[in-house]
Structure 1
Amino acid sequence: MRTEITNQINDDVASLSEVYLTQGPDAVDVAISQRLALSPLSRAGAHYRFEDQGGLPRSGDLSAAITQSSKLTDPTIVQSTNFGSLTLRATVFQGGETLIVARENSAIRKAAWVQLRNTLIGLVALIALAALIAVRATGSLRQRIGQMNDTLDHVGKGHLDARLPETGQEDELGALASHINGMIGRAERLLNLRKRVTDQVAHEMRSPLTRLDAALLKAQSNTRADPALAKARAELKSSLRLLDGLLDVSSAEAQQGDRRNLEPVDLAELGANMVELFEPVAELRGQHLVLEARAKAVVDAAPAQIGRLISNLIDNALKYADPNTDIIISIDTLGNKAVLSVANQGPQILGELRSEIFTPFFRHPDMAEKQGHGLGLALCRSIALRHDGTLDITPNPHLTIFTLTLPLTEQS
């Protein structure tokens, strides 16, 4: 602070000396008057006294009593009644005039604190701006990563038509999004190729197997009861059911997006019919079907396909539920969606099994001994997608819950 005061006084002395040498003493009077006209904060507590050769004052606001102790070279600190603590310095011009320049020590300190305060305010503003930019950048980053996670989650659930939005940003995340879309596209093409091959094989094999079954039936009718022929026909019928299942899945997938031949279907009414149909089977297994229709839910659907979807879900629940337990079929609405769920107490479907269980031929590892080909749930999801709906497993620590969501009709 002391060094800053000394530098200001020396600069002021040098400046006024230059005015004296180039323009004369009258110009010094004018310059001092101009300096004193500034606000105290702007001139940082500057005070002056300009005397002629005889010591009489020409201009300035300092008294003779204050300036008597000033030195010609070194700054001197004095106490003033009017201005408080001052640091001042004197110089004598070649014409014999004396110039005394002073600074208020408190004013310099105040100006320094103001400068420090402004610097701190600027620093805080800069930090706030940097924080705002960081928050916006982080928010954008979180949003883009969230989109990636959502898309990959959809892909994991079997929706291979999901793609990340193309933002056009040429950065690392943009390149990653492009690679992810390319990977999903290649996976979709490979699965579609596998599906076409499977569908073609199923279609080509069904006719010869049907003819073979007719031949076995004819041979069986022409001979005495032959267990080998009966077993062969049973195996053949199982293969035909497998091929029919594959063709049903293929047909439902081929109809995705096709809204023709759909009609209003009341899920509560359809659910009641299904409960009535399966109740005798449930009683034989010591189980009980419970229908909870909480709202009227009418959807545009192909009745046969939706009926098959619900019957498959109930049949699976009966097959895998623990004995002497309830199987709950609930129907409700959520916004513009109809929600049907089938819940049972049985083997838990956890982790990756939640998406894999909808894959054709997948069997629950704990239930491999159960009869079936693993096509029922694949067909159910294909039917749901055909109706612009979803079929997923709802996480629950105690129950296995399959939830079907379909758009309500516009009249609902």
Structure 2
Amino acid sequence: MAAPRSLRAIAFAFLTAIALATVLTCLAVYLALLGAIDRQVDRRLRSEAAELLADDPDQPLLMHRITEGTQRRDTGDIGFLLTDRNGRRLAGNIAPAHGFPAGLSTIDESAGIPGLTRGRALVHALPEGLRLALAAESEPIDDHDSQRLLILALGFGAILLLVGLGTFALSLAIRRNIEAVRGAAEAIVDGDLRARVPVEGTGTAFGRQAQAFNHMLDRIEALMTSLSQISNDVAHDLRTPLARLHGQLARLAAEPAADALRPQAEEALAQSEEILAMFAAILRITEVEGGDRRAMFRPLDLAGIVAGTAESIEALADEKAQVLQLGPWEPAPIEGDARLLAQLVVNLVENAVNHTPGGSTISVSVARDRDAAVLTVADNGPGIAPDEQALALRRFGRLEDSRNRPGHGLGLPLVQAIAALHRGTLELADNAPGLAVRIRLPIAQ
């Protein structure tokens, strides 16, 4: 049997166990109470029978003792019956509708004894076929057994109700704190590193947990801020001298005296341009991951942005004799940044063009899948093996067969950062053959 995993299932299982335990306890108390009463009545019946049969009395003396017993105040609630071998009553104050078995037994209304709803009977077999029967009520009032059961049910029912209310209140408190933690975690995933869990009562267990969680988030924020600052500082500080170096190389390559070294100068110029592009991509990813651009989101039609951007770069595929299939375009209203989404499309198409051979087919489309807009860029090239997909999404991640191609391994990471900024996801799938990149973005409500 699988263990309950949701909070509701755990609460339901706990209440079910408590209810079952309460019902069983109520039944056990009821039966124990009946047993205790029956034992007390049995002791009294045995005591009365012992007095009647003391010194082995003959029939006349026994009948006389029974008559006296029925008249005593302390035995007024006990029934006596002495019968012969033929069942005829010789003495006593009761006339049951049927006989009682030998020994001790439980009797009820079917015995036909006026005023008796439940009781106990004791039967002794005597010489010459005589039978002595004593009967006593175990209920002080009529229907006392049902009233006792009702009282127990109400008492244990009240306990069960209190436990249920307590469990409900506890589950609400746990759910509220879980929601607070999840809300803070989701906000941080969305890029808001300042999100924290509300602290309600610093001395409570939940309050101390929220404080510990917030301290952890403070530490993570400090580390992430430091790491981001280092990346920005390195990129900014290196980009300036690299830009100067690029300018000097450009001037040197343009000098007539550099004709002999022009090929080397142009190669160095191209390498410096690639390094500058790499630093620009790093800064761009850092800017996107910061989440500040989300304040600039506006209602957009994803299909319109993708269609316009893909058409503007169709010439990239023509240069390699590749076929760029555009559409279909399903209307997909979203909230986003048009410039970043255009950059996303350019990166995906350029990535497909650069990593597929001439004559390949690249398709770009937008569709709706329930509450999500799905942008798909697919090709029939070599694709990416499943065990290499994580490497392809890592910064500076270069697959072995792409190391000799232009690029610096920041295209897909930038796409992933833009998708995450728009609260979307990036998926790399097998296009059989080739690669299909799917970007899922939430539809605007």
Give the TM-score, by structure 1 length: 0.60
- Paired residue total: 340
Query: Residue 397 and residue 140 in structure 1: after superposition, are their counterparts in 2 closer, same or farther (change >3 A)?
Result: farther
1:267, distance to aligned residue in structure 2 (A)? 3.2
1:343, distance to aligned residue in structure 2 (A)? 4.2
Q: Of residues 420, 423, 429 in structure 2, which corresponds to 1:390?
A: 423
Q: Of residues 363, 375, 378 in structure 2, which corresponds to 1:344?
A: 378
Alignment of 1:221-232 (within 5 A): 221=255, 222-226=257-261, 227-232=263-268
CA-to-aligned-CA distance 1:140-185 (integer Å, 9 cap, x gap): 5356446545654665676534433434474445433332322222
Matched, 1:192 2:229: no
Query: Residue 6 and residue 248 in structure 1: after superposition, are their counterparts in 2 closer, same or farther (change >3 A)?
Result: closer
Contact 1:275–1:289, Cα closer than 8 Å, also in 2: no
Once residues 391 and 367 of structure 1 are traced to their aligned partners in structure 2, the CA distance between those partners, rounded to angstroms, is 29
Query: Residue 342 and residue 107 in structure 1: after superposition, are their counterparts in 2 closer, same or farther (change >3 A)?
Result: same
1:344, distance to aligned residue in structure 2 (A)? 3.1
Once residues 300 and 152 of structure 1 are traced to their aligned partners in structure 2, the CA distance between those partners, rounded to angstroms, is 22
**Which amino acid is 1:268 matched to?**
A
Query: Residue 152 and residue 330 in structure 1: after superposition, are their counterparts in 2 closer, same or farther (change >3 A)?
Result: same
CA-to-aligned-CA distance 1:210-243 (integer Å, 9 cap, x gap): 2222222333332224343233222211111122
1:129, distance to aligned residue in structure 2 (A)? 4.5
**Which amino acid is 2:312 matched to?**
L
CA-to-aligned-CA distance 1:329-354 (integer Å, 9 cap, x gap): 3154977xx83523436436789949
Once residues 160 and 298 of structure 2 are traced to their aligned partners in structure 1, the CA distance between those partners, rounded to angstroms, is 62
Q: CA RMSD in A?
A: 5.2
Once residues 185 and 221 of structure 2 are traced to their aligned partners in structure 1, the CA distance between those partners, rounded to angstroms, is 13
Q: Of residues 297, 302, 314 in structure 1, which corresponds to 2:349?
A: 314
1:6, distance to aligned residue in structure 2 (A)? 6.7
Contact 2:419–2:425, Cα closer than 8 Å, also in 1: no
**Which amino acid is 2:114 matched to?**
N
Matched, 1:403 2:435: no
Once residues 203 and 266 of structure 2 are traced to their aligned partners in structure 1, the CA distance between those partners, rounded to angstroms, is 67
Contact 2:120–2:137, Cα closer than 8 Å, also in 1: yes
Question: Residue in 2 aligned with 1:56?
Answer: none
Which moved further from structure 2: 117-126 or 201-210? 117-126
Question: What secondary structure sits across from 2:197 in the alignment?
Answer: coil
1:249, distance to aligned residue in structure 2 (A)? 3.8
Contact 1:297–1:333, Cα closer than 8 Å, also in 2: no
Question: Residue in 1 aligned with 2:305?
Answer: 270
Matched, 1:115 2:115: no
**Which amino acid is 1:242 matched to?**
M
Question: What secondary structure sits across from 2:341 in the alignment?
Answer: helix
CA-to-aligned-CA distance 1:277-328 (integer Å, 9 cap, x gap): 3444446375543423211637564x44432232123333445579956534
Query: Residue 196 and residue 133 in structure 1: after superposition, are their counterparts in 2 closer, same or farther (change >3 A)?
Result: same
Once residues 396 and 162 of structure 1 are traced to their aligned partners in structure 2, the CA distance between those partners, rounded to angstroms, is 33
Which moved further from structure 2: 143-152 or 288-297? 143-152
Q: Of residues 218, 221, 224 in structure 1, which corresponds to 2:251?
A: 218
Alignment of 1:11-410 (within 5 A): 69=92, 82-83=114-115, 103-105=136-138, 111-112=144-145, 114-116=147-149, 118-120=151-153, 122-123=155-156, 126-127=159-160, 129-131=162-164, 133-134=166-167, 137-138=170-171, 140-141=173-174, 144-145=177-178, 148=181, 151-152=184-185, 155=188, 160-168=193-201, 170-220=203-253, 221=255, 222-226=257-261, 227-252=263-288, 256=292, 259=295, 266-282=301-317, 284=320, 286=322, 288-295=324-331, 297=333, 301=337, 303-319=338-354, 324=360, 326-332=362-368, 339-344=373-378, 346-347=383-384, 353=390, 357=393, 361-363=395-397, 369=403, 371-380=406-415, 389-394=422-427, 399-405=436-442, 407=444
